[in-house]
Structure 1
């Protein structure tokens, strides 16, 4: 849609040149047809953003949508929409403002109506980021058995968290208010807005630095089938190990639930049966072992007594992890099988040789160039006032009437893509992980919270490196949100020099310093690259053997007439390290678990007879 708009603007510019300067000045003073055209394109961008938002949400919840409440679906759709719409809208805002300046106007063509959109986006993103999404995130992981109880629990947890944060923030804000001498209510509100902008800008510095460095490297990495295959082997090894741990945890939880069956009161048996039904549903997709409870207790010690709510919360969390890891493992096996056929020459694919590899390498080089231009602009813009010279490459392209809209779309969309890519790769202690098709509501709410918090600072940062943040510019966004200089610490100096840390952090990321710090505090998703060549080769070989055994297992299952997903080969540690494959005998099934299944079948049969 942005390309279509650029074609339209190019044609309109050519037409205006043909009309002559006098006719152009006359039309610039009129409301129509220029304003009507901007309104029409804004509506088109609105509809396109809605379509993209629905497609993105469907991409992540295609197979898990039935496990996410409708309210969470609606909130996620709205938050994604709010994270997509501002970028074409800002490009339209900048184009209209600069076009108005060229026409000699004192007000932008779109100022009368686009300011309302910006205010709605601002308040909607703040409500979603600080109220709605955190509550829904907590609601999704709550262990209560009724929607009302889960909602109350989510409210209480968020209130408790905000009380703690409020005390800390209140002390800091009080200190800053005392230093700044703020005495009016309006000044305090403005100070809060400046603080929110400062927090979002800090997040932006981190995520944008990671994305600007990572995206070009990712594109180059994806151009080689052999490189992807090696990394998939390593990733498959880690996923298989995590899946084994998750299955073990799920087996122990099931044993705990069954053991609690004779201990709970009659009115709690329904809740216990609900947990067992969820576990039974999981077993259709993820095969679990049926080790006897007594054997587990003897091996792992006595099982601890747990509250049913806490137990249910842990069951729900483990079910999500098992489903996600099982899907990832199947995808790794499928991807490795396909890549092996390409790398070994069994399947001669013109797509890889002729199209994908050269195209991605070209895109990687272009992305690297754009990254360098953005980093250079972030570094030099704060010092342009001293030199009185345009040093920002982004500003030069944006201010040029010929490249104006193309530069806005290129740099703004690229910055948004890099920042969002880094946010989606964020994983905290393997709890909130976003995976295509099987993402859960809590993980999506977690990611959407960060997206909505960095959205407006990202738009502001683009205007900053384009030198369009001053309030006297005709850009409506700058007029509304460009006056964040309420206090010296949180205002002009902070907004001016904080982006300088983006290129500095980018260098530290390239040197793996930030990666080590992230892993030290439990934030995963970014490798340090410090593994030795021997260690990486060993991990790749172990992953290759695991994938090969999984493929052989599926082939045997198909030959025997069974579903490939139903039979899983248990691999011993020795086999994983390079020994021969050994199939473990199926352990004894828990008698109590079988009794529960028999009671359930009898109950269903009795209900059918009635």
Structure 2
């Protein structure tokens, strides 16, 4: 204590830490502004999501400070940024328990609250609590079993209760961290390597185009099916409908129905698979209809945004590839609504060609090689930290001042530790956006729906603590002297089961690493045919082949033609794709080949959350080229029942049955089968003639078929008896 009191003042370190936290706050606000319209986003969404991102980001700052502050004190000047143990303990407690509350209670309840279709806040809250009841039952049930085990082992109730809650939350988060980080450690360098090849990048964009376009068309038709239900509902008068007149009018305002005839369902294109309205309209039915309508609007804006981004990337990549002949690169005029830097021209066409054609690919290859080496070091450290911690590469990169069996962390070691943590966080968080098993949730630029925003924020908060502690275990025995270990590590290692789990489970990182490295996801997709959306962006191991990456998505040639028709046929989209600037948020997204009224509910806050069409760039309402996909050739599958809140999640058997049906329905009659029996004479009672068989005409849809046995057909496929 005397040495600590006589130590130099930590005021400079405190000032640096506060300045760093201020910078982190600015970065978090920029991230929120990229995905959410800050002015129209309600406070109950903006504030929790801000802290769910800000608290994990502050851990990247706290860990290096804790390592330097808890090291040996023989050379204080070599420790870099350091704080007193009391200040560190308070910081860790506030950060951990706020993150814990956001992860397990606040964000899940708010997510279901924002996704609920009820109108009143009380009804929304009750619906949210009912939706989370099963989730909490499983959590508390697992916690009760763990509490019994820890209580028998440690025999102290309060310590066992706190240790059980912290240890179970850590173990569940560690399982997700290991899988997601293992995938990202391979996906990030591989993506950089592949993007360095300009022609290969263009080929992957073209291969991906039919699938995105088909999803966008399906999302539009799903939305129009629900709008037809709303239009039919608004036409009903009297009965149970009269009890919910205001609610139904709000639903009509959420749709793009014509103002003059809001109930004319024939004006809506749709798919003809909308669910019938029940005889008695209840509050539960309207809440479900509202939720499905809001989800469909956000799904449509998501795929429109993804399609516009794909067009911009395709146009830019094609321009870079075409500039190889002329040595001049021009991306065209910037969009009128582009930002300040997008309208500035700093490079000449020849210099721009050198930068984009030679310099950028070279930098991508160099960065990919460096990150590949970093990924190998992280995987190696995960494997050896339990049995041979002295072989950890990360340990020697952070600890530069070895003293006896321990060491000190200087300013350089703190910076390197922060970089290691940032890369591990990036690997885990990028995998969340690539693994498509999250019920269709997605982040959309300036237009993310409230429920996905809460969900992604909760995942960031859930992964932060396990990832932070997992990184500290790379450093050998030095992490046992930190305040964070005294606060959390001792409770994780309270029993032998928790200690061995913490040491041995990270070795399973080899499973996601090998699955991603050797293209296991693509092989599963090709064999079973039902996993096309498991890894859209990360499992492009066969994107450069001549065939499509998934069932019903077409080939790269089809994607090339589709992109060319889209860019050449709609000048507004072409300008947006070439200009590269962000367009001003529009009021709504016009439909393809239907009404042009797009003034309803534009960009303002609705009773059900922010407007799902604000901030999305869309083309004009002309007809779109149709993608030649199998789903469009055979028609869409029947819609689910009205009470089905999630129509996109089909189980394995339903998906397999759909693929078999689509494959059989799209088979054309072979030529040899059409010509079979040309020389065989059919009897007159079977519709034959003297000139030979008419089996070929029958195969082409003629009247000489089995229906003639029952009196012939009426030309419309019906049989007269």
Cα offset, 1:48, TM superposition = 1.1
State the match for 1:339 in structure 2.
317
State the match for 1:44 in structure 2.
19
Per-residue CA deviations over 1:439-465 (Å, capped at 9, x if unaligned) read 212112111111111101111111101
Of 29, 34, 40 in structure 2, the residue corresponding to residue 54 of structure 1 is 29
Matched, 1:327 2:305: yes
State the match for 1:271 in structure 2.
247
State the match for 2:360 in structure 1.
356
- In 1: Cα distance, 2:199 partner to 2:574 partner: 29
State the match for 2:266 in structure 1.
292
- In 2: Cα distance, 1:269 partner to 1:327 partner: 34
Per-residue CA deviations over 1:216-275 (Å, capped at 9, x if unaligned) read 112223333323222222232211101111111111111111111233533412211211
Per-residue CA deviations over 1:336-368 (Å, capped at 9, x if unaligned) read 122211111275223312431111111111101
* 1:417/1:557 CA distance change after superposition, 3 Å: closer
- In 1: Cα distance, 2:216 partner to 2:112 partner: 24
The structure with higher relative contact order (CA 8 Å, sep 6+) is 1
State the match for 1:259 in structure 2.
232
- In 2: Cα distance, 1:249 partner to 1:327 partner: 17
- In 2: Cα distance, 1:377 partner to 1:115 partner: 27
State the match for 1:237 in structure 2.
210
TM-score, with normalisation over the residues of structure 2?
A: 0.67
Partner of 1:205, secondary structure, is helix
Report the RMSD for the aligned CA atoms in angstroms: 3.4
Of 230, 240, 256 in structure 2, the residue corresponding to residue 280 of structure 1 is 256
Structure index of larger Rg: 2
The 5 Å alignment of 1:145-224 reads: 145-167=119-141, 169-170=142-143, 172-173=145-146, 176-177=149-150, 180=153, 182=155, 184-224=157-197
- In 2: Cα distance, 1:380 partner to 1:556 partner: 56
- In 2: Cα distance, 1:231 partner to 1:557 partner: 20
Cα offset, 1:302, TM superposition = 6.5
Matched, 1:512 2:524: no
Say whether the 8 Å CA contact 2:180–2:428 is kept in structure 1: yes
Task: Give structure 1 stretches of 5+ with no counterpart.
Answer: 1-25, 284-289, 578-610
Task: Give structure 2 stretches of 5+ with no counterpart.
Answer: 330-352, 402-409, 576-595, 597-616, 631-721
- In 2: Cα distance, 1:42 partner to 1:536 partner: 51
Of 475, 480, 483 in structure 2, the residue corresponding to residue 466 of structure 1 is 475
Partner of 1:416, secondary structure, is helix
* 1:104/1:551 CA distance change after superposition, 3 Å: closer
Say whether the 8 Å CA contact 1:60–1:439 is kept in structure 2: yes
Of 620, 645, 653 in structure 2, the residue corresponding to residue 566 of structure 1 is 620
Partner of 2:235, secondary structure, is coil
Of 396, 404, 419 in structure 2, the residue corresponding to residue 410 of structure 1 is 419
Cα offset, 1:175, TM superposition = 6.1
- In 1: Cα distance, 2:224 partner to 2:268 partner: 13
Cα offset, 1:318, TM superposition = 0.1
Say whether the 8 Å CA contact 2:308–2:618 is kept in structure 1: no
Of 493, 506, 529 in structure 1, the residue corresponding to residue 500 of structure 2 is 493
Matched, 1:549 2:527: no
Of 438, 452, 469 in structure 2, the residue corresponding to residue 443 of structure 1 is 452
State the match for 1:598 in structure 2.
none
Say whether the 8 Å CA contact 1:200–1:454 is kept in structure 2: yes
Cα offset, 1:372, TM superposition = 0.9
- In 1: Cα distance, 2:457 partner to 2:622 partner: 36
* 1:426/1:374 CA distance change after superposition, 3 Å: same
- In 2: Cα distance, 1:74 partner to 1:54 partner: 11
State the match for 1:5 in structure 2.
none
Of 541, 546, 566 in structure 2, the residue corresponding to residue 529 of structure 1 is 541
- In 1: Cα distance, 2:227 partner to 2:203 partner: 36
Of 98, 114, 125 in structure 1, the residue corresponding to residue 71 of structure 2 is 98
- In 2: Cα distance, 1:114 partner to 1:224 partner: 47
- In 2: Cα distance, 1:137 partner to 1:103 partner: 47
State the match for 1:399 in structure 2.
399
Whose helix fraction is larger, Structure 1's or Structure 2's?
A: 1
State the match for 2:93 in structure 1.
119
Cα offset, 1:182, TM superposition = 4.2
TM-score, with normalisation over the residues of structure 1?
A: 0.79
| Residue-pair matches, total | 531
Partner of 1:489, secondary structure, is helix
Say whether the 8 Å CA contact 1:469–1:482 is kept in structure 2: no
Say whether the 8 Å CA contact 1:133–1:445 is kept in structure 2: yes
Partner of 1:85, secondary structure, is helix
Say whether the 8 Å CA contact 2:117–2:289 is kept in structure 1: yes
Partner of 2:447, secondary structure, is coil
